[in-house]
Every structure is written in structure tokens, then in C-alpha cells.
Amino acid sequence: MEFLKIVAFGLFAAVTYGVIHDQVTARVCLEYFTIGHPPLIHSASPTLLAFAWGFVATWWVGLPLGAVVAMAAQSGARPKLTAAQVRPYILWLLVAVAVLASMSGLAVYFLATHQVIALDKDWSALLPEGTQIPFLVDLWTHTASYAFGIVGAAVVAVFVFRKRLTLAPPA
């Protein structure tokens, strides 16, 4: 049962992160969701688009995150960690991903406003004037979240497994 609780928490945490993340990025550049993605719902509301895309775009990260961490916490003969013991590791991961994604977005904004990088001309042609840099910021912020989240899931699994090694072995 603890295994499933960990998987469920990983899924819930990732989707919650995705919805919050998208609430911010939909307000940075709504066109990232309306032009940069296929239509998911027929709405121009940043709130509704962020809820829809936040779920659809992150459940597939949260499920394996939860499964990998659950295996690290529960598999084998070593003492097992509970969902409550694993929860802080997952929450710290999401905080780290949010910070790193924000830093990526700020770095891209700086680079784009100083004309060091630019959005591809094909994408730029599709976007209204003045939305190219915000679109690029959203693109990099989202990519960073996925990359750091996926790598971070492996790091969390290692930390969880190492925590188990510090516990007394079964009698």
C-alpha cells in the first residue's frame, strides 16, 4: 500500500507543480499555449489553459517519478520508507525544479533582450509582434522544468535509497 501511496503522491505533486507553473507561464505568454501547442480546450483564458495543460503535460512525468521513488523506497530487503518519509524529498525536488526553471527563464530573457539568442524565424512569423521573447522564455522555462524534473527524479531515488542504507537492517 505504501508503494501506491508514493506513486500517487509523485503523480499528484507533479500535476500540482504543472498547474501552478502553467498559471505563471500562461500569463507570461498566452501564445505559448494557443499557438505553440495544438488546441486542447477551446478557450483563451490563461487560467483554464493552465489547468488543462498543467494536468496533461505533467502527469506523464509524475507517474514515473512516483514509481521510481517508490521502488527506491520499497524494493528489496532493506528497511522500507513510508510515503510520509519520502514526501519531503519529492517536495524539495519540486522547489528545486521551480527555482532552476525560473533561473532558466530569466537567463533566456536576458540573452534574448540582448539579442544573443532569438526564436526561430518560422515560430516568430506565427506570433504577434512583441510576443517572441515571452514565447522563448516560456519555451525554455518549460523545457528546463521537464529536464530538471526528470533528472531530479533519479537524484531523489538515489537519496531515498541511500537513506534506507542508513537504517538498521531487518532482524
**What tens digit of pLDDT does each residue of 41-95 get?**
999 999 999 999 999 999 999 999 999 999 999 999 889 999 999 999 999 999 9
Q: Which tens digit of pLDDT belongs to each residue from 106-157?
A: 999 999 999 999 999 999 999 999 999 999 999 999 999 999 999 999 999 9
Q: Give pLDDT, residue 149.
A: 95
Distance CA 121, CA 103 (A): 25
Indicate if the pLDDT at residue 170 is higher than 80: no
Q: Give pLDDT, residue 168.
A: 72
Q: Give pLDDT, residue 113.
A: 97
Contacts of 47 (CB under 8 A, 6+ apart): 23, 26
Q: Give pLDDT, residue 37.
A: 93
Please report whether residue 171 resides in a domain.
no
Please report whether residue 9 resides in a domain.
yes
Number of folded domains in the chain? Answer: 1
Contacts of 72 (CB under 8 A, 6+ apart): 156, 157, 158, 160, 161, 164
Please report whether residue 109 resides in a domain.
yes
pTM score, two decimals?
0.92
**Residue 53 lies in domain:** 2-166
Q: Which tens digit of pLDDT belongs to each residue from 23-45?
A: 999 999 999 999 999 999 999 99
Please report whether residue 96 resides in a domain.
yes
